Amino acid sequence: MATMTIEELAASLLPGQPVAGLDLGTKTIGLAVSDLGRRFSSPRPVLKRLKFTKDAELLLAWADKEKVAAFIIGLPINMDGSSGPRVQATRAFVRSMSDKTEIPFVFWDERLSTVAAERALLEMDVSRAKRAERIDSAAASFILQGALDRLVSLERAASEDEA
């Protein structure tokens, strides 16, 4: 299973299954994971990128340890809505990962996620050096939180439809 929509994910998740957020960069992969109730996102240490095979191995080992049911991966769409080379690289990464895992991926518009993460770290008075090492995981957490908020709204809509 390669990709699904956030709506398909909402319908397939079981209670207590955490989901992960990924911010795919050229040098690192920012990581975040949800709580078991899928309400809150917490950043995790970044994975330093090596070669794809090693990246996949490390990512899947981390996902296994965290018992991740799905990956929410930031899709770096341009501000005008067009797709650039980073979108193509992200889609290629997910295609390659789908050969290695059954864990589904959900693409999530990550426009301004790094800006928001940077702003949050600045507001917390994090030093420039610390910001540089935390920015990718903070962005992954921001991406994941957006998806978690959408999952909550889908759950509410589903329960209202049942009532």
Distance CA 30, CA 74 (A): 10
Instruction: Give percent above pLDDT 70 in the chain.
Output: 82
pLDDT of residue 136: 76
* All structural domains of the chain: 6-162 (3.30.420.140)
Rounded average pLDDT over 52-65: 97
| CA atoms within 13 A of residue 106's CA, in its CB half-sphere | 24
Tokens of 102: 């059954």
Average pLDDT score over residue span 52-72: 97
Per-residue pLDDT band for 56 (boundaries 50, 70, 90) equals very high
> What is the band of 159 on the pLDDT scale with cuts at 50, 70, 90?
confident
CA gap 163, 159 in Å, rounded: 6
Report the distance separating Cα 92 and Cα 71, nearest Å: 15
What is the pTM (predicted TM-score) of this model? 0.85
